[in-house]
Amino acid sequence: MEQQVEGGIRVEALDAGYQAQAEQWAARLGLPLDDAEAAFAVQVGADGLQIQQLGPQAPGPVRVDFLEGGAAHRRLYGGGAGQMIAKAVGIAQGVRPHVLDATAGLGKDAFVLATLGCRMQLIERQPLVAALLEDGLARAAGDAEVGPIVARMELLHGNSIERMRNWQGEPPQVIYLDPMFPHRDKSALVKKEMRVFRPLVGDDLDAPALLEAALALATHRVVVKRPRKAPIIEGTKPSHSLEGKSSRYDIYPKKALKP
């Protein structure tokens, strides 16, 4: 799928041993292997797949890693079922809902919910981000501790709205949405992932349609993560919200989740 990004994107192997993999990804993503003018590089190497913004002031590479770093720390010390996201999706004694994360991104929130025992389905419509997620899940699958967690995470490809409108099989009990929103707060640019991703992903200007499709499909509730001071998504109003320091969860209940 062709990526329309200012400056362009190329695929490159970080080592000659990864050239064949780089060629496969280039073919899959519809990207060139040689583009001296590219603003971004999809790089293949010993640490798996990563995206590197090119240029002198560029932040470091972005990859999906469920084994080390932030994901590992949150898995071990994140607060378990007491976390706000767990309460938002309805995790309780004897309740581990089937959740669709329709804006999966790098899979961080989905991984937290899978760690807590939820069966997860993930949709990421931006092909480059989906590729990072696919690579991260594949690398984690062989790990003794993390393998059983990512086994609960199924990655679906395609456009979230279309997938939800034309859903096949058992519908999810809970749908989780964390749309990219037009940023006003300068601190939103601080995170490396956001700096790299905004030019690639853009804003989810179709968030109202995303919410509408989710409300039509979810059997029990829809949860929308928003920056704490951001307005609610246009359309149906949430019944209540859970508020944290920097973000909040707007909750749209349909039916009670029971053990």
Residue 192 identity (one-letter amino acid): K
177 - beta bridge partners?
Answer: 224
User: Which of 254, 170, 175 lies closest to 220 in space, CA to CA?
Assistant: 254
* Residue 124 annotated as part of some ligand binding site: yes
List CB contacts of 18: < 8 A, sequence separation 6 or more.
44, 45, 46
Of 129, 66, 121, the residue nearest 97 (C-alpha): 121
Across-strand partners of 176?
101, 223
- The answer to whether residues 215 and 236 touch, using CB atoms and an 8 Å cutoff, is yes
Tokens of 3: 């990526």
Q: Which strand (E) or helix (H) includes residue 76? A: helix 69-77
Q: How far apart are CA 100 and CA 97, in angstroms?
A: 10
Tokens of 47: 């640490």
The DSSP secondary-structure symbol of 14 reads S
Binding site for S-adenosyl-L-methionine: residue ranges?
Answer: 124-125, 178
**Which residues are documented as binding site?**
124-125, 178
